Amino acid sequence: MKTHLTLIYLALVAGCAGLVSCSSSGTSASSPAADISSGIGSSAIYKEYNAAGNSVLNKGWPYKLDASGIALDDKHTCTLITRRHVVMAKHYKRGVGKQVVFHNRQGQRVARKITAIKGGSGDYAVGLLDEPVPAGIRVYPLPTPTPDLKTRLIDVPVIVTDQHRRLYVHRIKRFQSYLVFFKYSNHIRKKILVSGDSGNPSFLMVRGQPVLVETHYGGGPGIGPFYGDARVQMELKFLISELDPNYSFKTVSY
- Write down all domains in the chain, each with its CATH number in brackets: 2-38 (no CATH), 52-139+234-252 (2.40.10.10), 142-231 (2.40.10.10)
Residue 190: per-residue pLDDT: 87
Across all residues in the chain, what is the average pLDDT? 87
Spatial distance between the Cα atoms of 94 and 72, rounded to a whole number of angstroms: 11
Q: In which region does residue 238 sit, left (phi positive, over 0), alpha (psi from -120 to 50) or beta (all else)?
A: alpha
Q: What is the pLDDT of residues 198-208, one digit of tens each?
A: 999 999 999 88
Residue 40: per-residue pLDDT: 60
Average pLDDT estimate for 35-58: 83
Spatial distance between the Cα atoms of 157 and 206, rounded to a whole number of angstroms: 11
Residue 92: per-residue pLDDT: 97
Whole-prediction pTM: 0.86
